[in-house]
Amino acid sequence: MTQEEFMAKLAEVKVCPVVVIDDVEDAVPLARALEAGKLPMAEVTFRTPAAADAIARIAKECPNVVVGAGTVIDREQCTRAIKAGAQFIVAPSFSDEVAQCAIGHGVAYCPGTCTPTDITNALRYNLPMVKFFPAGNYGGLKTIKSLASVFPQIKFMPTGGVNVDNVNEYLGFDKIISVGGTWVCKKDMVAAKDWDGITKLCQEAYDLTH
Ligand code: 3PG
């Protein structure tokens, strides 16, 4: 998926579910739960050994779900994610090798940033959007507004500490096209295979933001 396609999809869903999958068997039911809750997107974090297989399963069995990889911090992970079928790459940090790998494969890359220097690195690769992480800890919307004033060409996806109480505060700023978060698919709910509960949280987030 190109950067433009990814941004268009983010603008549509407004909330990108960040998911942690320990058991690959959970991948498809979880993706279906997100889709049923009108958030047909999953950022599958490369924090568990199941991540690449989970992406492959979702890519194969859930054609309406846009699946990507999160927490991608090096070339090896980026290559594995793309081979598995990741349509986008997200990270908590900026990495030259990940930028080169993703761009080389024509896959959208959204690096994590929280300082002007990080954003300048993203601009070296003409990236049009960045993740702002961890948003809550680094000053939230106030900091994003300061960064946006000097980087008017960049769009932001705040992640980290976003929830039902502050999501619309973030989305009210026009430089923010989407937020990311785990609150719509909490780890304990995945562990309990509470797919209906996850659908309900996604639907609530969708209703709140649309
Ligand atoms: C991430 O994995 O990108 C963040 O840890 C998500 O942060 P959250 O759990 O506060 O939504």
Residue nearest atom 9 of ligand 1, based on CA coordinates: 182
For residue 160, how far is its CA from the centre of ligand 1 (angstroms)?
4
| Contact criterion met (CB below 8 Å) for 205 and 182 | no
For residue 41, what pLDDT is reported? 98
For residue 131, what pLDDT is reported? 98
| List of the chain residues with pLDDT < 70 | none
For residue 60, what pLDDT is reported? 98
Q: 28 is written with which tokens?
A: 């498809």
pTM: 0.96
On the 0-12 / 13-18 / 19+ scale of CB atoms within 10 A, 149 is exposed
Q: Does any ligand 1 atom lie closer than 6 A to the CB of residue 18? A: yes
| Contact criterion met (CB below 8 Å) for 96 and 127 | no
Whether the upstream peptide bond of residue 134 has omega within 30° of 0, thus cis, is yes
CATH fold of 3-209, please?
TIM Barrel (3.20.20)
* Catalytic residue status for 9: no
Q: Does any ligand 1 atom lie closer than 6 A to the CB of residue 77? A: no
The rounded distance, in Å, linking the Cα atoms of 36 and 27 is: 14
For residue 57, how far is its CA from the centre of ligand 1 (angstroms)?
23
